[in-house]
Structure 1
Amino acid sequence: MIGAERITGASFGDFVAEAERRGRLVVQPRMGFGDLARMRSGLERTRAADAVAVGTLTLDSYTRIGDHEAARRALRDGIELNGYPIVARPDEETVALLDGVRDECFPVQVRHGSSRPQDIFRALGRLGLDATEGGPVSYCLPYSRTPLREAVDCWAESMEVFAASGSDGVRPHMESFGGCMLGQLCPPGLLVAISLLEGIFFRQHGIDSVSLSYAQQTDPRQDEEAVLALRRLAGEYLPDTQWHVVFYAYMGVYPRTSWGARRLLEQAARTAVRAGAARVIVKTEAEAHRIPTIEENVRALEVGARASEGVGPRVYDAGDGGVLAEARALVEAVLDIDRDVGRALPRAFELGRLDLPFCLHPDNRGEARGYIDDEGRLRWLTTGNMPIAPSLGTARPARLTANALLTMLHHVEQRYDRAA
């Protein structure tokens, strides 16, 4: 059995580090339910999966936007929530939920999506939960209308609360969501740069155990190059930090066939192992149709774990296709503004030194555009004021039409479904 080997760690980061040391890929669902019994079952089934797995408490939409009274009303009125309301529920209920499930053999991470997350972090501190994710850019620009400067201040306060919650043998662990952003059509150099910058932000606010994310895009070789670049830069910029890379199964329009969805997840697991990512966030075969069941989540964990077995490391390096050079140029352009990342990030977006393609947040310039070339790789059509040049790849359009954008959005879905 894949998950039979006993792996332990005093905290979330230590558990993943031990699995990585043993050459085992950690797999994780996105699971979150408002109902206590269902959430407990989801955690228990994840723990029992034939995989090296960690658990997830994904929070509900009301909690994400800080409307805790609405979450309380929903609980009181028996209205189903789309995640776990960690602030609205009494602490003793969450303690009971985790009792006997979460331990050194099965860490649990809280996932949320909030640009103003202080209440969530205070709850984590009270509950002794040591792992969560997000970031001042990645949970602001894609998900909210919160001004970026305000989000940075909220996240700085949250990191100080979280760092102070550590105890002997337990290190609070933060995962940057910066390598995911809008999920698709962003060339990987920018994803790598934002993920690293958020990791530096966490370190500057007292967190010394981090994971840096990257989301599967349109071409496996380019994705491998991106993860290798992220690892190279993490080693340079976070030398006194415990870190690993977490790889997300594709976050865009998902294949509609079960076979296509499974092949895409298997590719994500293989890419992660080849490039040296330590953990994978899975997607299920139901992704294109509805919220997945607990059983479908567990099946996805086991598919990802099996696909990772026997995969060898990549034999070429991080500089093959220019992702490393692009990411380094973007990181240095931000740090040239101010070595304090919290001060530098809002100014970098004002100046256009960072610019997310297709992002409509008012603090994003929106001058950059990406496209998919004939080989399936993401390239830059325009780069605005970023310190990198547009790409010279094949099939470079003169301009990006609405039809072309729709075709690109469905590129991965159609490729894997056609193969099915």
Structure 2
Amino acid sequence: MSATAPAPAPAPAPAPAPARSRHDFGARVARARAAGEIVVQPRMGFADPAAMRAGLAAVAAVPAATTGTITLDSYTRTGDYAALREALAAGAPLNGYPLVTAGPRTTREMIAGLSGAAFQIQVRHGCAAPMDIVRSMTAAGLFATEGGPLSYCLPYGRLPVRDSVENWRHACEALAETRDGHVEPHLETFGGCLLGQLCPPSLLVAVSVLEAMFFAEHGLRSVSLSYAQQIHHGQDLQALAALRTLAGEHLDGVDWHVVLYGYMGRYPTTAAGARRLGARAALLAVQGGADRLIVKTSVEAHRIPAVADNVRALRQAARDVRLAQGFGQPTAPETPPGESNPVLQEARALVDATLGLAPDVGTALLLALRRGLLDVPFCLHPDNRGRARSRIDETGRLVWSDVGAMPLRPRSACGPELSSAGLLRALSHLADQCDRADPGADGATPSAPALEPLFCLPS
């Protein structure tokens, strides 16, 4: 671990030997795909092991293809274990499960009888120095997590990207070493979720592919590539098509699947608006060929969701997926037959330019950031060049207003940059659209009358 990373936690206490069951997150998703299902997954974490177990058990009981989530608390994410212990001693509430300080025995007891071939559990965190987390989770019998050297560094802190790349190299190798006849470790790239909003899809796709390649380069054979729902359905379909195309080109010999996140920006404040946005995410997952859907709840704009909120959201998402599957899977309407996919063109240019910088992906990522060939708009991390800017064009798509040094269109072709007032409006664009939408008047793509209230999409 880098000298700038948080100090490691004490060595975990010995834990009972793992149960001899198959831990293979990717295989669980593949079985669902073969059955014509999309796996639905919540984002939740609780400090108390009993509450965390109850949440996992409730998710496992949902009558749909589900996977569980253990989201870690912010102290664990930053490696501040002293502050975490003080908070626990004081009875202060935490915003997730304290995996490292809980110890593997407590966690193993928490997941006993739940985790296995039929119900996989993923650890979610947000840490650029994840070795303590990887050691603790694998000691407890958990072998699926998420992250990445860019996506878990640029949005969340100030750790130098060079250190994050080195930390994630060690973490990937440690996770890969757990592979045996009963374990196939899995790692999901968070690259398709950079900052969650106002990032043109081509950069999300490119970083997701590059991070997945980084994982494979360091020993992982089972990975997933993420993409976060943005503001234009047709453009998102192009992005998912581009992600699958580039993954197929660059991940030969790797078991991979695509995970779609429900919109991660400002959420609608009305129940109808939240319902509409969730249904659009399910339609996007079906039409875009996603294998797993990270589900948001209808209370996101108001409070931290409880277990019951997550269960309702998972049940509704599964129903929405079935409805969307009945509606069909047309090609992206924004890409007429015979014309190329503009998101794929841009993403391929970014991936190719990055890979051309060095023989290994980690070094290539560092050089690409340093030269501005990868540049995240509105990201204040010191290692991000910070010249790229985006805007919403007249058709409602996210486009570049300034590409900086990225190998994309020159600035003269991109149009005006967002003002501060325009940026605030853009951040609320989709939430406001869903809150005020009139299902009978906003150009619904689906023609089935029963589906129009759910899947109405702006023309």
Deviation, structure 1 residue 311: 4.1
Deviation, structure 1 residue 316: 4.6
Aligned CA distance change for structure 1 residues 219 and 53 (closer, same or farther; 3 Å) = same
Contact 1:379 1:391 in 2 (8 A): no
Instruction: Name the CA distance, whole Å, in 1 between partners of 2:342 and 2:268.
Output: 29
The structure 1 residue matched to 2:348, chosen from 325, 328, 331, is 328
Contact 1:273 1:311 in 2 (8 A): no
Match of 1:90 in 2: 103
SS in 2 for 1:280: strand
The structure 2 residue matched to 1:24, chosen from 34, 37, 48, is 37
Deviation, structure 1 residue 20: 0.9
Match of 1:315 in 2: 331
Deviation, structure 1 residue 380: 0.9
Match of 1:388 in 2: 408
SS in 1 for 2:219: coil
Aligned CA distance change for structure 1 residues 369 and 163 (closer, same or farther; 3 Å) = same
Contact 1:381 1:390 in 2 (8 A): no
Match of 2:443 in 1: none
Match of 2:289 in 1: 276
SS in 2 for 1:27: strand
Deviation, structure 1 residue 91: 1.5
Contact 2:391 2:417 in 1 (8 A): no
TM-score by length of 1: 0.95
Residue 417 (str. 1) matches residue 435 (str. 2):
yes
Match of 1:399 in 2: 417
The higher radius of gyration belongs to: 2
SS in 2 for 1:196: helix
Match of 1:204 in 2: 217
Q: Which amino acid aligns with 1:408?
A: A
Instruction: Name the CA distance, whole Å, in 2 between partners of 1:338 and 1:287.
Output: 42
Aligned CA distance change for structure 1 residues 139 and 89 (closer, same or farther; 3 Å) = same
Instruction: Name the CA distance, whole Å, in 2 between partners of 1:195 and 1:183.
Output: 13
Instruction: Name the CA distance, whole Å, in 1 between partners of 2:344 and 2:226.
Output: 15
Q: Deviations over 1:333-373 (max 9, x none)?
A: 00000130111111101100000010000001111111111
Q: Deviations over 1:145-180 (max 9, x none)?
A: 000001100111111111111221421000000000
Match of 2:150 in 1: 137
Q: Deviations over 1:3-56 (max 9, x none)?
A: xxxxx9751110001111111010000010001121111101111113211000
Instruction: Name the CA distance, whole Å, in 2 between partners of 1:239 and 1:382.
Output: 34
Q: Which amino acid aligns with 1:354?
A: L
SS in 2 for 1:109: strand
Instruction: Name the CA distance, whole Å, in 2 between partners of 1:118 and 1:56.
Output: 19
Match of 2:249 in 1: 236
Deviation, structure 1 residue 221: 0.9
Instruction: Name the CA distance, whole Å, in 2 between partners of 1:36 and 1:72.
Output: 15
Deviation, structure 1 residue 383: 0.2
Deviation, structure 1 residue 203: 0.2
Q: Which stretches in structure 1 are left out of the alignment for 5+ residues? A: 1-7
Match of 1:4 in 2: none
Deviates more, 1:406-415 or 1:311-320: 311-320
Instruction: Name the CA distance, whole Å, in 2 between partners of 1:246 and 1:47.
Output: 19
Instruction: Name the CA distance, whole Å, in 2 between partners of 1:139 and 1:65.
Output: 11
SS in 1 for 2:211: helix
Instruction: Name the CA distance, whole Å, in 2 between partners of 1:275 and 1:405.
Output: 28
SS in 2 for 1:88: helix
Match of 1:194 in 2: 207
SS in 1 for 2:258: strand
Q: Which amino acid aligns with 2:268?
A: P
Contact 1:203 1:241 in 2 (8 A): yes
Aligned CA distance change for structure 1 residues 343 and 377 (closer, same or farther; 3 Å) = same
1:82-121 matches, cutoff 5 A: 82-121=95-134
Instruction: Name the CA distance, whole Å, in 2 between partners of 1:368 and 1:240.
Output: 34
Instruction: Name the CA distance, whole Å, in 1 between partners of 2:281 and 2:171.
Output: 32
> What RMSD, in angstroms, separates the aligned Cα atoms of the two structures?
1.7
Q: Identity rate of aligned residues, in percent? A: 52
The structure 2 residue matched to 1:123, chosen from 136, 141, 157, is 136
